[in-house]
Chain A
Amino acid sequence: MTSTNPKRDRADGDVLLDVRDLSVIYESAGAAPVQAVDDVSFTLKRGEFVGLVGESGSGKSTLGFALTRLQKPPARTNGGNIFFDGSDIRELDTETLRTQRQGGFAMVLQSGMNALNPVRTIRNHFMDIFRAHGHVAKADREARAAELVRKVELDPSVLARYPGELSGGMRQRVSIALALSLEPQLMVFDEPTTALDVLVQHAVMDTIQSLQASENFTAILISHDLGIVLEATQRVLVMHEGRIVEDGASRDILERPQDDYTRMLLSHYADPRAEVVELPGFPARRSGAEPGTTRPRAEAGDAAVVTRSVRSADSAIVVDGVSKVYPPPRRGEKPVRALDDVSFTLEPGQSLALVGASGSGKSTLAKLITGIEKPTQGDVRFGDVDVTRLRAKGLRDLRSNVQMVFQDPYSALNPLHTVEYTLSRPIRNMTDLRGDDARARLHDLLTTVGLTPTETFAQKLPHQLSGGQRQRVVIARALASDPQVLIADEPVSMLDVSLRAGVLALLEDLREKWGVSLLYITHDLLSARLVTDDIMVLHDGKVVERGVTSEVLRNPQDEYTVRLLDAVPNPRRLREDVA
């Protein structure tokens, strides 16, 4: 709270947005009201590019919606003022508000993918805006739309397309162009790149930054990712539990963070290229740590969970010359070669990272290993079992040995079932444990994933758990059958930064104590560095680089690996023009 000055002269031409003591409350029926934004004050000067950072539930998006008066019930502003260019946005009547949106304040939504009407062409989206405000003469509208689309680095031919025909990145660019067509003084970007692929994220952020400079609008960038924000903005507001806990220049925040919460957020960033990578609650992993060797495995009974028996066979997963070709997505197009001659071996107890941007084929590989899909060419073996030939019964056996942890903990759990029920199913279906033994197993599993007291957590429903806790339940479920291999598909990408380290540490711990081998699928090189010994970089279905994780990341050979590394948000790589 540094920049609050309620006596600031409103006529000061320099100030575009002056928020005073703003509060937003959620009043859902049948639930206690939640003060999502609590007495927030700050000012924004013309031409500033300000970041608004916080984790989920911090109130940052609620604040963004309140600023542009887009909040919908049950959210309601219950105090304070928002002076935009001298007049209070909260006081405007609906029609004035609507017309103010042209040449006033615009918003780009989090999921730009869904921000476009699926049954209208891109051209019609532009025309709707021009018609609503009449700020572009009829004869110039077509040319103006083409010009706007070019500004976000798209070809004007997209105007004739429907949203469904564009990629996620293109759609987000279109939303930015639409927001720009309002010629706004203030742009609010609400997590504009979160739903996008890493490399695309980077490119879209670049576009936003260069537009901000060339179009000279004032901008607020809302994000959960302090790294992205520090890279792009000049000033940062850090939000925590509805309040702004820190407000300062990006460089100051980075070098002299004042608030504990900011310090905590910052501590979760590290450069995957560094010699020693350390995160809070996470053991340091030296770059020279016995490359390639598997760790000593604990005997059964050592860990919190007593395994069924000493593993009968320590089987490696062998992927041998595998290709997967999907039929063409549309008639007249080429078949899609998702994987092209990929070979590797996952030894027992090994942890291997499989990295690449979306579309690189990494998830396809996971499907082949779990037997969900069959390769077009090549072999997948688990020990002496040929996975590609398995039928129903064999697949069931395979799955008690090879388990998946999914990306989205919010949709991987049935919202109607308690944790106890969710975990009891695999115990019942994949082990011989019954009755008290099964119950004991369930509580052991919860202890292993750190959900204690287990009695309390067993009775909870998914919505009563945080994202990190849900992901722990998903991991516990995967462990229920005492698997030999865990395939984790982006297990932390949906989690808040502060929760990631905990889940990663759990995966690492399981491997050390329990000897589970881990195939860690991700686009996030920092987390790959933390939990894996070896790495394989996939690009367009081909392995472009492989080796010991720390060595590959510190000294990448392939250009694609370098691009992935550059895309990792790094607060230390500040925007150049910051004073």
Chain B
Amino acid sequence: MKYIAGKLGLFVLTLWAAVTLNFFLPRLMPGSPADAAIAKLAQNGPVTEATRAAIEAQLGVPDGSLWEQYASYLRQVVTLDFGVSYTFYPQTVSSMVSTALPYTLILVGIVTILAFVLGTLIGVAAAWKRGTWLDSLPTLSGSFMSTFPYFWTALLLLFFLGYVLHWFPTTGAYSATTTPAFSFAFLGDALLHAALPALTILLTSLGGWIIGMRNAMINTLGDDYVTFAEANGLRGGTVAIRYAARNAILPNLTGFGLALGGVVGGSILVEQVFGYPGIGYLLFNAVIGQDYPLMQALFLMITVSVLIANFLVDILYGVLDPRTRR
């Protein structure tokens, strides 16, 4: 309990630091969004005073002291009010993010967890049966697949499974003819659309987990407690899972935490290739369109989710490894 409290305190502290940095960093840059927009207009001719006022009113100019700005920023962060998007005006940033978030969370989140679980299980099997085909097949194909760049796998799948075979739709999160609703028709349609991006992420990330787990487990298999467990005649399954794998998974959890934190950042390339309206897609468009409020909100969200994921992994460590609880 003391362990969790300690970790929670650390989490709150780093969260505050991240939020504060997110506030100060843009302000260290010279100029404001309004200046940038006006400068762009000025290339096409003189900008009238009225236009300038209108742009400033529209985009907002900082007013009040830095501390007042900071206070109102914190208030906005707490109430999740990130203002209005430039590129998709007049939609609010919050509403855009909340539309995109579920797609990414469900697609990338589930696939990341799935890849970790599957990869770990296959890695355990490979290490336990090392030297057999059960080891060489997944290890070789895993390392082969993970050398492919994301987008290349994505394009290959898109071309063969989507374009040539017509098994899966090639773009979007759902068909143009369906509307988002909690119906079987929509969910089925959404799953069908998610299949190719999911497969891409799974194929490219699985290999890393397989190899990581296999190597960690081969190390623990050489440990004395595994030999001793065998000497005591424990069943093979118990030795493999509760002794070898149970200890081998610990270092891999850190990697899993980082991967989970990266979920919200989305897979920009994959979402872009499949035109999948998730956070990655949104971020890409925000950067292209110099949409500062949207970018700021997305960056903050990505930072926070990395922190949350690491916090959860820390807690998990505490549960799984008695040595960290001291």
A109, B235: Cβ atoms under 8 Å? no
A and B contact pairs by CB, cutoff 8 A, 19 listed: A70-B227, A70-B230, A70-B231, A98-B235, A110-B224, A114-B225, A115-B224, A115-B225, A115-B227, A116-B225, A117-B243, A117-B246, A118-B321, A118-B323, A119-B247, A119-B321, A128-B238, A128-B242, A330-B326
A71 to chain B, nearest CB (A): 10
Q: Beta-carbon contacts of B227-244 to A below 8 Å, as 1s and 0s?
A: 111111111101000110
- Chain B residues lying within 8 Å of A117, measured Cβ to Cβ, are 225, 229, 242-243, 246-247
Task: Say yes or no for A101: interface residue by CB 8 A criterion.
Answer: yes
Q: Is the CB of B320 closer than 8 A to any CB of chain A?
A: yes
Determine the distance from Cα of A436 to Cα of B233 in the docked complex, in whole angstroms: 62
Given contacts A100-B233, A164-B322, A330-B326, whether A120 and B228 have CB atoms under 8 Å apart is no
B223 at the interface (CB under 8 A from A): yes
CB-defined contacts of B246 to chain A, threshold 8 Å: 117, 119-120
Given known A117-B247, A118-B323, A164-B323, contact A129–B224 (CB-CB < 8 A): no
Residues of chain B within 8 A (CB-CB) of A572 are none
Measured CB to CB, the closest approach of chain A to B165, in angstroms, equals: 44
**Inter-chain contacts of B236 with A (CB < 8 A):** 94, 98
Question: What is the minimal beta-carbon distance from B9 to any residue of chain A, in angstroms?
Answer: 15
The answer to whether A118 and B247 touch (CB under 8 A), given A162-B323, A164-B323, is: yes
Residues of B within 8 A of A100 (CB): 233
Cβ distance A112 to chain B, nearest Cβ, rounded Å: 8
Does A87 interact with chain B (Cβ within 8 Å)? no
Which A residues are in CB contact (< 8 Å) with B225?
Answer: 114-118
Q: Knowing A114-B223, A114-B225, A330-B326 are in contact, say whether A99-B233 is a contact too (CB < 8 A).
A: yes
Which residues of B188-236 have CB atoms within 8 Å of chain A's CB atoms?
Answer: 223-225, 227-236
Nearest to A121 among chain B residues (CB) is: B322
Is chain B's interface secondary structure helix, strand, loop, or mixed overall? helix
In the complex, which residue of chain A has the Cβ closest to the Cβ of B323?
A: A164
User: Across the interface, do B227 and A133 meet the contact criterion of CB distance under 8 Å?
Assistant: no
Q: For residue B239, give the distance in angstroms from its CB to the closest CB of chain A.
A: 9
A128-B242, A175-B228 known; A102-B233 Cβ under 8 A: yes
Alpha-carbon distance A102/B223, docked complex (angstroms): 22
Taking the closest CB of chain A, its distance from the CB of B31, in whole angstroms, is 46
Q: In this complex, what residue of B is CB-closest to A117?
A: B225
* Closest-CB distance, A103 to chain B (whole angstroms): 10
Residue picked from B228, B242, B326, most chain A C-beta under 10 Å: B228
Query: Which residues of the other chain, B, contact A107 by a CB distance below 8 angstroms?
Result: 228, 231
Contact B232 A182, beta carbon cutoff 8 Å: yes
Q: Which of A72, A119, A129, A175 has the most CB of B within 10 A?
A: A119
A182 to B227, CA, bound (A): 15
- Closest B residue by C-beta to A118: B323
Report chain B residues within 8 Å CB of A115.
224-225, 227-228
CB of A101 within 8 A of CB of B233, answer yes
> What is the chain B residue whose CB lies nearest that of A103?
B233
Q: Is A218 an interface residue (CB 8 A)?
A: no
The yes or no answer to A111 lying at the interface (CB within 8 A) is: yes
- The CA of A70 and the CA of B232, in the complex, are separated in Å by 11
Question: When the two chains form their complex, are residues B233 and A133 in contact, meaning their CB atoms are under 8 A apart?
Answer: yes
Pairwise interchain contact A98-B233, C-beta atoms closer than 8 A? yes
**A279 CA to B321 CA in the complex, in Å?**
49
Whether A132 sits at the interface, judged by CB under 8 Å, is yes
Say whether A132 contacts B235, CB under 8 Å. Answer: yes
A119 contacts B231, C-beta separation under 8 Å = no
Q: Cβ of B228 and Cβ of A128 under 8 Å apart? A: no
Which residues between 275 and 326 of chain B lie within 8 Å of chain A, taking CB atoms?
A: 320-323, 326
A15 at the interface (CB under 8 A from B): no
Q: Which listed residue, B229, B234, B322, B326, touches A118 by the CB 8 Å rule? A: B322
Decide if A41 is an interface residue (CB 8 Å cutoff). Answer: no
Which parts of A110-162 form the interface with B (CB within 8 Å)? Answer: 110-111, 114-120, 128-129, 131-133, 162
Other than the given A118-B322, A128-B232, 11 more pairs (CB < 8 A) read: A70-B230, A98-B234, A98-B236, A106-B232, A109-B224, A117-B243, A117-B246, A118-B321, A119-B250, A129-B234, A179-B232
Chain B CB within 8 A of A400 CB: no
Q: Does A68 contact B (CB under 8 A)?
A: yes
Contacts of B228 in A (CB 8 A): 107, 109, 115-116, 175, 178
Query: Within the complex, what minimum Cβ distance (angstroms) separates A428 from chain B?
Result: 37
- Residues 168-180 of A, flagged 1 when their CB comes within 8 A of B and 0 if not, give 0000000100110
| Given A115-B225, A119-B246, A101:B231 Cβ within 8 A | yes
Whole-angstrom CA separation of A132 from B243 in the bound complex: 14
* Inter-chain contacts of B247 with A (CB < 8 A): 117-119
- How far, in angstroms, from A175 to B228 measured CA to CA in the complex? 9
Kindly state the separation between the CA atoms of A128 and B238 in the bound complex, as whole angstroms: 8
A401 to B109, alpha carbons, bound, how many Å? 60
Judge whether A129 and B233 touch: CB under 8 Å. Answer: yes
CA distance A68 to B231 in the complex (A): 8
8 Å CB contacts to B: which residues of A464-496?
none
Contact A128–B227 (Cβ < 8 Å): no
Alpha-carbon distance A178/B236, docked complex (angstroms): 18
Q: Which residue of B lies closest to A73 (CB)?
A: B131
Question: Cα distance A330–B322 when bound, in Å?
Answer: 14
Give the one of A98, A99, A110 with max B CB within 10 A: A98
Cβ contact within 8 Å between B224 and A114: yes
Q: Do B232 and A129 have beta carbons less than 8 Å apart?
A: yes
Residues from chain A with Cβ under 8 Å of B230 in the complex = 70
